Structure 1
Amino acid sequence: MLRIHFTGVDLARVRMAGRPDALWETILSFHRLRDRRDVRLFGEWRTETRSRLNSETRLLGALIPSRGYFPDFLTPAEGRYGWDVGLDALRGIRAERLRKELALVGGGSALSPRLREFADGGTAMLPRLLRELRGYHRAAVEPYWTHIQAQIEAERAARGRALLDGGADELLASLPPGLRWRAPVLECDYPADRDVHLRGRGLLLQPSFFCRRTAVTLHDPELPPVLVYPAAAEVSHTSAGIEACRPAGSDDQRVRTLGKLVGHTRSVVLRAIGDGATTSELARRAGVSLASASQHACVMREAGLVTTLRRGNAVLHTVTPLGAALLKGGAVAS
């Protein structure tokens, strides 16, 4: 179990990441690619990703074991500002830190020949690592980025509501299963027994699409504290997995469903969602019945314009990047 210990200052410094972290998503997706579980969520994604992979990933495979520790330097704090910024930070890693963290891969046992080569080569090996990361990211993460963004935005909306309703205490208590707030300690299901003391530094909560079952944190206690946790699953009457988010132009059903959206009422309903709305709030804002609001939200969810997450006994609808683009252009108004 992981136990994160808060002080009063830490509670005041809890914050939600403003966007998905491309490096965390890339590294965690590499775990999902080799994992045979969660077929409903990732089955087709695995097939599509493998068919697109035409670059070397052997170094990544050595650095990221199927289980256990992977180097902290793969997910620098700067990554939350964007993919390129994160790669620049990784490019600047110092040789001493690189060797120190490589020594921890595999639980302290002797390094594999590939990792030994990397450790001996030091920072001169970083260009090869960056090439593998870029190639893998293009195949596995980039085609699905819009969907990943939508899921993280929906998660942020749900946690933001909890924060507004009851402050940091309610925010931490509202986190998905596997994370339990027992003030002043946040307990997380974890493969090892570990305590993290924040010591007034606060905590960055980073929801992740590819993080599953257990949260993840950095090994080095001196690095800026971050907790990467599984974003809540989307509520859907069709597909709950990444299969619902094909790269642009590859899903005929998405195109057919979009055709249902033309009309004044759905334009009003989509705009009424705003920064997030429950079904009852949506019905009230749009001036439609509860059943009608639910039906419109369902159609828009199938079309990729809305993401719906369950929060307690209610569901929270948020507009996806596609839905926001349509609203901005007035594409759904009649």
Structure 2
Amino acid sequence: MSELRFTLADVAGVRFGVSPANETVMSMWALADPARYPVHLQWIDRARTTLRRPEVAERVAPLVHLTLPRRWLPDFLTPAARPGVEMDGQLDQIAATPPGVVVRDLLATTPSGPLRPFGRALLADPTGLLPRLVEAMRVWYDEAIAPDWPRMRAVLDADVAYRAAQLAEGGTGKLFERLHPGLRWLGDRVVSDDPFERDFDLRGRGLALNPSVFSRQRVLWNLLEDSLPAAAYPVRAVGTLWERAPEPEGDPLVRVVGAGRAALLHLLDTSVTTTDLARITGMSAGNVSQHLSALHAAGLVVRSRSGRHVLYRNTEVGAALLRAARGS
């Protein structure tokens, strides 16, 4: 069990961000242990084909050595993501990790298992070999994550918008209690039901919350004294990540509302923005907006505002229409 202690400044400093570095690193767990990640089997099949290419396998090997299933990750590989950060910025941050921090974080993983050959070599020469690890992350992101990043990003952004609305409506306590069933808010601290046994004071630095499509069962903490504290938590609606809209000829809903509007209704079981829907479906933002306006006028979707974002979700009528179509 772990405890994170909050000051008032920490409560005010809770923020959200999407981390492409987290997804790049944690995706290796799914690749190595697909039985534990059935929702990602479609991606795993493609990624395994990619990794079998000799030129990719050789360049990605350093990352494979540090991301074994059920082993702890070196914290410097998953830095806290601030709003708007992109992969290049995170790779630059990882490349600038001081050698002493690399060594400390590698040693901290050894209770979960011994280091593999590259890990041992990096431990002995962090300055010389860290660039190889950064390059391995860049290659794996480009080859395996980037082709699907718009789809992943849409799911992650939708979760951030949803959680931000929870924070605004219910405060920090309600946010953490709803973030994951293993978390409890006790007024000035978060208690996490995990095996890590951490007792950590945020000391006014706040906490970055990063949703992850490849985080499975629990919240993963990145709690260091010399960097922004962070937590990667399982994203909502991950089951929709690899869904595709039904083919028009196979979907009776298409005959009622049209192909574009049917595709949107199938994706609105959870709250999503216009931008996210455009990324997932490949439609233009203008086309999505027109369809949503028609669905809203018909009482099939409802909209709400969270900060600068407008979120759309099926109404009960829209959900009933979907259930009827899916059951036909």
State TM-score, norm by structure 2: 0.73
Within 1, Cα distance between the matches of 2:176 and 2:264? 30
Question: Does 1:6 find its partner at 2:6?
Answer: yes
Once the 2 structures are TM-superposed, how far is the Cα of residue 181 of structure 1 from its aligned partner? 2.3
Once the 2 structures are TM-superposed, how far is the Cα of residue 333 of structure 1 from its aligned partner? 4.4
Gaps of 5+ in 2: 292-328
- Partner of residue 75, structure 2: 72
Question: Does 1:132 find its partner at 2:132?
Answer: no
- Asked if 1 retains the 8 angstrom alpha-carbon contact of 2:91 and 2:134, the reply is yes
Quick one: which amino acid aligns to residue 75 of structure 1? T
How does 1:290-329 map onto structure 2 within 5 Å? 299-302=263-266, 306-309=267-270, 316-323=271-278, 326=283, 328-329=285-286
- Partner of residue 45, structure 1: 43
Q: Deviations over 1:82-128 (max 9, x none)?
A: 10011112222222222232233322876443322222332221232
- Partner of residue 23, structure 1: 21
Q: Deviations over 1:166-224 (max 9, x none)?
A: 23233223213232323222222323222221122211111111111011111534321
Once the 2 structures are TM-superposed, how far is the Cα of residue 254 of structure 1 from its aligned partner? 6.3
Change (3 A) 1:78 1:168: closer
- Any idea what SS the aligned residue of 1:87 has? helix
Quick one: which amino acid aligns to residue 243 of structure 2? A
- Asked if 2 retains the 8 angstrom alpha-carbon contact of 1:65 and 1:106, the reply is no
Quick one: which amino acid aligns to residue 137 of structure 2? L
- Partner of residue 199, structure 1: 203
Gaps of 5+ in 1: 235-239, 246-250, 271-295, 310-315
Within 1, Cα distance between the matches of 2:192 and 2:73? 19
State the identity as a percent: 28
Within 2, Cα distance between the matches of 1:24 and 1:308? 26
- Any idea what SS the aligned residue of 1:187 has? strand
How does 1:57-136 map onto structure 2 within 5 Å? 57-77=60-80, 81-107=85-111, 111-136=115-140
Change (3 A) 1:157 1:326: same
Once the 2 structures are TM-superposed, how far is the Cα of residue 130 of structure 1 from its aligned partner? 2.2
Within 2, Cα distance between the matches of 1:77 and 1:175? 17
Quick one: which amino acid aligns to residue 11 of structure 1? V
Higher helix share: 2
- Asked if 2 retains the 8 angstrom alpha-carbon contact of 1:214 and 1:230, the reply is yes
Within 2, Cα distance between the matches of 1:321 and 1:91? 31
Change (3 A) 1:202 1:262: farther
Within 1, Cα distance between the matches of 2:250 and 2:16? 33
- Any idea what SS the aligned residue of 1:67 has? coil
- Partner of residue 182, structure 1: 186
Once the 2 structures are TM-superposed, how far is the Cα of residue 225 of structure 1 from its aligned partner? 1.1
Q: Deviations over 1:226-277 (max 9, x none)?
A: 111111135xxxxx254326xxxxx9x568799x8799x789xx9xxxxxxx
Change (3 A) 1:127 1:7: closer
Within 1, Cα distance between the matches of 2:97 and 2:38? 38
Quick one: which amino acid aligns to residue 69 of structure 2? S
Within 1, Cα distance between the matches of 2:144 and 2:19? 14
- Any idea what SS the aligned residue of 2:169 has? helix
The count of residues paired between Structure 1 and Structure 2 equals 283
Once the 2 structures are TM-superposed, how far is the Cα of residue 25 of structure 1 from its aligned partner? 0.9
Q: Deviations over 1:138-174 (max 9, x none)?
A: 2332122112111112212221221232232332232
Worse-superposed segment, 109-118 or 220-229: 109-118
Quick one: which amino acid aligns to residue 328 of structure 1? A
Quick one: which amino acid aligns to residue 31 of structure 2? L
Quick one: which amino acid aligns to residue 205 of structure 2? R
- Asked if 2 retains the 8 angstrom alpha-carbon contact of 1:163 and 1:170, the reply is yes
What is the alpha-carbon root mean square deviation over aligned residues? 3.3
- Any idea what SS the aligned residue of 1:60 has? helix
Within 2, Cα distance between the matches of 1:184 and 1:122? 38
